Amino acid sequence: MADAKPPVDWDTLGFDVVATDVMYIAEVKAGADWTRGELRPFGNVSMSPAASVLNYGAGIFEGMKAQRTESGGVVLFRPKCNASRMARGAERMSLAPVPEDIFLHAVESVVAGNERWIPPYGKGALYIRPCLYGSGATLALTPASSFTFLVYACPVGAYFKGGMSPISLLVSDDYHRAAPGGQGGVKAIGNYAPGMLPSMAAKKEKFNEILYLDSTEHKFIEEVGAANFFCIKDSIVHTPPLSGTILPGVTRASVIQLAKDMGLEVREEKVPISFALGADEAFCTGTAAVISPIGKIQHGSQCVEFCGGKVGRYTQELFNTLTGIQLCQVPDLHGWVSHVTIGKD
């Protein structure tokens, strides 16, 4: 049955939960060393009602993609970066960091075990969701007594249907994503639910997403929903610095390197909203969308359009190069692509 063709229409595949064949689970008690987990059938998990993740939000996650190349191979993009980011997040959230070798083994095992769910070349990707959470019961506000590392995956369609399409953003005056000294710099589960309300409000006003400003001075750009922000002015790339309130995106780091490879100057510094509104191009980055061109930003009564509502020159070039590397169509000069062996442990 596992070798049968999955019940998926690759041409209409969206970004939704699809029950695949297997998931990976490893567990460890506080103070003990992690050991390799095992593949289990995709399904529900059980835990105590007093689990630390349910009561205190003690959990983090990652987002990754496995894709087929034109030759039929299966590749991951910079998986060690996700392993490293999860380990740093675990320290901040008082969780037991998962060693890199176990993280990579888990991800590759889930990809191989769900090989039939990986979309054909050009039809999408297998979205991988590693999760780490406090599963041990605790009533007091203390670290959990045990932890669970879980990895599952779902096939998702190509983010851009018919090519890149510039998105519109609404600047939030009432909500902030993170505050200095908080957990904005890690991929904590508690960072995301609060963003649903302002995001839905923006979409009701016909915008694609919300644009957050800093919580201290309310004038510097932070993030676009759950994506990193970039703008380009006079061939100089600007992006907010990793000061603790910005998630260190894997795609963000990759775009910075590729921009430098193109000969562009990159400045990681505070970006005033007033400056961004006068930029030549703007875009945001993330695992799911890779690079999303920004066509319009509304800030109060001021509305600015970039590139006449079209995709900017540098934005398009960066997108083409990055996706070309991810699909093994462009030379991988930095060793970012990892090939997954299918059919062997």
Taken in order 111, 117, 123, 127, is the CA torsion positive or negative? Answer: negative
Phi, psi of 297 (to 5 degrees): -130, 130
In angstroms, the CA 123 to CA 12 distance is 9
Burial of 162 (0-12, 13-18, 19+ CB in 10 A): exposed
Give the Cβ contact number of residue 197 at 10 Å: 12
Q: Is 204 a catalytic residue?
A: no
The DSSP output letter for 115 is G
User: Distance between alpha carbon 295 and the CA centroid of its chain, in Å?
Assistant: 21
In angstroms, the CA 345 to CA 342 distance is 8
The angle that helices 100-113 and 79-92 make with each other, rounded to 10 degrees, is 120
Token pair 């390799």 is at which residue? 36
In angstroms, the CA 43 to CA 82 distance is 24
Q: Which one from 80, 187, 206, 219 is the annotated catalytic residue?
A: 187
The catalytic residue positions are 187
